[in-house]
Structure 1
């Protein structure tokens, strides 16, 4: 392999120097370092009051290749990431978002408490390095009152916490199939009243398929420092710069015969996307008293995106900014939160001719401008929750979220035309949330009723002629949920079970009218109902070996209740893009000497690909394995080695699909994003504590 070892030479030269410094330091002055792995139950959740959520930690992330965010998050029941490539991910929660053609919407995402969902409702999980994350918390459904009440819910990403009273340097270096190379170099410092973490990461790979090269560099700064006895400040800066070639979807023949292929037009144009993204935010926390606290954040985000496609070249940039303020506290038997969040962005985009066919095989070439547009988008949320404990066992929560959304569109390319500008000002919508919780000796029972919504994007509110469609409405739904958690056999077995049902009205569907042109419309009603179950068990096989099997099962019984498209009535059909059954399972073995083995498995049932229910993707099973070893070389230096094999049995499977695909010019419809074939990775992790 032709590997460019960026970041590694620096660390290899640094380690001997650090080791010599360590030899001059008395051993009793430095505590031996070994990374602290927090269990999921040990990490405090941010879901307010009695709102239930699911959380995974670094313990889950480390079962997988450090480039594989989807496999880690897919361990959560009810949550499924369809991943077409490192840069092409669609997150669905309980079937919400499954009909979105590309990307993730209908939920809100937060990074260290700062909103990172843009003004049109899109979120990008690929903007974050898995090795920098300490936890991912998911609030399923619209009960996330303090985080937006979106139909899909909310995803809360948190960076790793600095080890208290430590200064350390950590480098993780990984190589793998398809010329994959990844390096993450992190410096952390913690002392009384001050914590700081600075990380640089680099990733490059040729990819499994044609035209799937990827290269990313990122920088993350996270600091917190006390400014007084009652106040503290936090600064967050996240910067990424990546270029990702786009292999796109393929038809069934190519998927079965050679899934590494890319469509000829994407291959000839060498289609790709280049992104420069920065997020920066400052948060201030003030403790008024032991009963009241406030955290206020201001933030700014910038995205510069350039994407040559076979049909045109998209050039866009977005400036986003806003604030979030939340008060939380307690009084007698009552806990409360209330606050507000404003997000505004300015989106500038234009398209150009792509003259790749006249470029002598050199890929995309920008031609004449075809469009020039600006959009101003604004969302405002007010929220509050009140949780009252009637007894030590029984409590109830009531919450309200008020949302106001506004879009303003201007066509600068056709200034003066009748449809050169458009404004859509949605009515304010009030969204209630009611939950009750009963605790008993070995667990708890809870019930929830909540109301949620999803905004159409501005593009969905426009007709093909660029005129605002006043008839398109927000999706709205009411969620009913009943669940329980159990801790049995001296807390060796933990179980979570949830039943839910949600009816979504004014279903937004994207109707394809061109190769990359969609219009939105409200098309009826869907019913989302299902069962989610998570089981975790831990037992000692001997004094030195711990055995931990786990299982997450999802039953999706989602269907169209009322859905007509012209003369076609799809009422009663299964919801497109959602597997009925999904299972994630695995076994962790851990030895006291630092040796660890992770075996993981995922089953995904067939997925309906068309609204007519005439075609389904095949169900599949995928198995992964990883072996890791950690040891301390000295009180200052620790070393970790790992190696893994993904897709052990080399299954040919669709890791993502495009529903209702249309073949143009007599070509077969392209439904499939193939998953990687059998592939390996191996890594080394070295850390030094000063």
Structure 2
């Protein structure tokens, strides 16, 4: 809580020294200081959401999307490496061993979460994004109604009648190099964006190299007075070495080490990811519009691990259609989304021990499988103003999920092919909003679900578990969002409680084997506070302190594992208190300074709560200067330092880790030590 007190003291001090504008006989309008980017939200009707825009992005290293998202109360991104991010929202997803699930991820309106609910935000270049919108909890009926919520990524908005060529180039510690070259053209009836990005680094740890290339093409063309056609292609090709997690001794003594078995195997993953989509928008009338998208995705993944080599590829395709309109004073949204993918994977022996120290070597096949996965979401919302200030909204989402697993390796009685057809789930939502001067009060009750991941649907023998069920939960939340002090202070406070039944637990039974099962109930409850303040010093210098605080009081209500009863214990993998705070300084001459801070409380690492990670605080700083060189040229220079006080901390953890062969269990993914970066950005308006 020291950081909270520090921020409040700073805020009070700066307010005292702020100069008072002298009154005169001329009537003056109150000054309005812009604290946030003005970004149109995608959440339907009165559904609340949090948005991160360019002003937030520019505070951080252009490869650090995790820090930007961690500014939002209730959202925590645990980043084990650049290619290993686990996004949790209100504690949902914290028990996932690797990666992100239990939420829906969208890119320019196209769903990019795969058939079992897994999302990879690292498939998108941070510098291509114009906004990230986060809907916390299952109230996002038109975006899947998942228990964790939805994250909507949007590319940068193009300005009409502008043609811009820009290049940003960044160098940093660990031999980091990043470049993003972008061309943007906006006209009355046509716009086009094409960007190429390259990124490479040796990383902080052993066996930690990362090399990525990619491009983004985004275009829209108007078809007459009522229609428009959009094209989106995103391609990423990266290879990332995997240092994996560390046990306590290595974490304390030398966090730069890689896990010994991963280092010996020189483990890595190579990914080629393509997303292509075509969308058509049509205005039937001023009161009814429709946007329909068809899309295709392809992921080719190759990953040598110490225990085997995984070779897989996934073809995904589907469509999404959304109607939006007004009826008298009411607003409505309805539509559907179908996503299907074909997942092919094989495993092979890894003979790295017989390869004379040269790392992984592929041996004989161990398995060959294919799974067909299908998800259908039908949704709708209806928002009605009960008075000038009071509105109500009802919504629904109907989900139908099917898995069809095919064993292509074993024959006859050993073949484990099977199907799983989950019952359709109706997920309603009800919300209220009361508008007050410069703000709103809101409440919501919503029902959500989570599908089991691939590992959770299969037993260690590769057989579909017929007893596994979907997680289901009901979310209750109440909040207030207002601007105070002549709109210089923004205040947002939300209290929530979510009860989840049929908790999905991935129990580790081998180095790469997990058993999925339903293990009781959890209660997720807490408070989320966002405070932002903006004022001026000496008329020219704008100062903006801010703080986001998350209280997570999550626990197991009913959780019995064999002879162990963990009921009442805090939920594993979630810090009880978390604070993100900072101070921004901006001068009209183009100079700006961003100071950011993050505090993360102890995290329970075992269901029995016998071990927890240490709490930590990390401070970052960034200085930037932007100037106009001519009527067409602009220049930005920036320099930043991360982990200013060189804290040794766990940037991600692995819960319920198990040591094999007498080794210590490996719980910790170390964060980078003190590191620096600097960049230059040139922009030319054609």
- TM-score, L = length of structure 1: 0.94
1:147 to 143, 146, 171: 143
Q: CA deviation at 1:331?
A: 1.4
Offset from partner CA, 1:423-471 (integer Å, 9 cap, x none):
0000000000000000011321111000000011243122222333222
Alignment correspondent of 2:631: 635
Return the match for 1:65 from 61, 67, 76.
61
Deviation string, structure 1 residues 315-365 (Cα, Å, up to 9, x no partner)? 000000000000001111100000000000000000001111111111111
1:333 and 1:390 in contact (8 A); partners too: no
The 2-side partners of 1:559 and 1:366 are apart by 43
Give secondary structure in 2 for the equivalent of 1:464.
coil
Other structure's SS at 1:417 match: helix
User: Are the counterparts in 2 of residues 419 and 466 from structure 1 also a CA contact under 8 Å?
Assistant: no
- 1:418 Cα deviation from its structure 2 partner: 4.9
Match of 2:545 among 543, 549, 552: 549
- Counterpart in the other structure of 1:434: 430
What's the CA shift for 1:390? 1.1
Select 2:115's aligned residue among 119, 127, 132. 119
Q: Which residue of 2 aligns with 1:6?
A: none
Match of 1:322 in 2: 318
For the residue of structure 2 that corresponds to 1:126, the secondary structure is helix
Match of 1:178 in 2: 174
1:188 paired with 2:184, answer yes
Structure 2 residue 234 is the aligned partner of structure 1 residue 238: yes
Aligned to 1:536: 532
Residue 144 of structure 1: CA displacement? 0.2
Q: Which residue in the other structure is 1:270 paired with?
A: 266
> CA 1:508/1:567 → structure 2, altered by over 3 Å: closer, same or farther?
same
TM-score normalised per structure 2 = 0.95
Q: Is structure 2 residue 169 aligned with structure 1 residue 165?
A: no
Bigger shift: 391-400 or 538-547? 538-547
Q: Is the 8 A contact 1:419 1:465 kept in 2?
A: no
2:280 aligned to 276, 280, 284, which one? 284
Is residue 464 from structure 1 mapped to residue 460 from structure 2 by the alignment?
A: yes
1:565 and 2:561 correspond: yes
Using the TM superposition, give the Cα deviation of residue 417 of structure 1 relative to its aligned residue in structure 2, in angstroms.
Answer: 2.8
Structure 2: how far apart are the matches of 1:543 and 1:417?
80
Structure 2, unpaired ranges of 5+: 1-32
Residue aligning to 1:254 = 250
Please state how far the C-alpha of 1:193 moved relative to its aligned partner. 1.1
Distance in 1 (alpha carbons) for counterparts of 2:362 and 2:225? 58
Query: CA distance change for structure 1 residues 649 and 458 in 2, over 3 Å: closer, same or farther?
Result: closer
**How much is the aligned-residue C-alpha RMSD, in angstroms?**
1.0
Separation of aligned partners in 2, 1:306 and 1:440: 54
SS of equivalent residue, structure 1 residue 43: coil
| 2-structure distance, mates of 1:41, 1:557 | 31
Match of 1:28 in 2: none
CA contact (8 A) 1:356 1:363 kept: yes
1:686 counterpart = 2:675 = no
Q: Are 1:110 and 2:106 counterparts?
A: yes
Do the aligned residues in 1 keep the contact of 2:37 with 2:54 (CA within 8 Å)?
Answer: no
From 483, 486, 490, give the equivalent of 1:490: 486
Q: Pick from 516, 520, 527 the counterpart of residue 524 of structure 1.
A: 520
Q: Paired residues, what number?
A: 654
Q: Does the residue aligned with 1:446 lie in a helix, a strand or coil?
A: strand
Q: Distance in 2 between matches of 1:392 and 1:68?
A: 43
Structure 2 residue 277 is the aligned partner of structure 1 residue 310: no
Is contact 2:405–2:464 with CA below 8 Å preserved after alignment? no
SS in 1 for 2:314: strand
SS in 2 for 1:665: coil
Residue 543 of structure 1 deviates from its aligned partner by: 2.3
Q: Match of 2:251, SS?
A: helix
Q: Report deviation, 1:42.
A: 1.2
**Which of the numbers 376, 381, 386 marks the counterpart of 1:380?**
376
Please show how residues 545-624 of structure 1 align to structure 2 within 5 Å: 545-624=541-620
Distance 1:522 1:563 in 2: 9
2:9 aligns to what?
Answer: none
Given candidates 56, 79, 86, the residue that maps to 1:83 is: 79
Find the residue that maps to 1:613 and give its secondary structure: coil
Q: What are the equivalent positions in structure 2 for 1:410-429 lying under 5 Å apart?
A: 410-429=406-425
Q: Which runs of 4+ in 1 moved over 3 A?
A: 37-41
Distance 1:666 1:163 in 2: 61
Of the three residues 271, 293, 297, the one matched with 2:293 is 297
Corresponding residue of 2:657:
661
> 2:28 corresponds to which residue?
none
- Mapped to 2, the partners of 1:439 and 1:83 lie a distance apart of 38
The whole-number CA distance in structure 1 between the counterparts of 2:78 and 2:428 is 31
Query: Does the CA-based 8 Å contact 2:132-2:153 persist in structure 1?
Result: yes
Which residue, 409, 423, 439 being the options, matches 1:443?
439
Contact 2:37 2:55 in 1 (8 A): no
Superposition pairs for residues 10-29 of structure 1, below 5 Å? Answer: none
Contact 2:37/2:53 (8 A) holds in 1:
no
The alpha carbon displacement at 1:41 in A equals: 5.2
Looking at structure 2, the residues matched to 78 and 121 of structure 1 have their Cα atoms a distance apart, in angstroms, of 20
**1:256 alignment partner, SS class:** helix
| Cα distance in 2 for residues equivalent to 1:268 and 1:242 | 21
Distance 2:192 2:359 in 1: 44
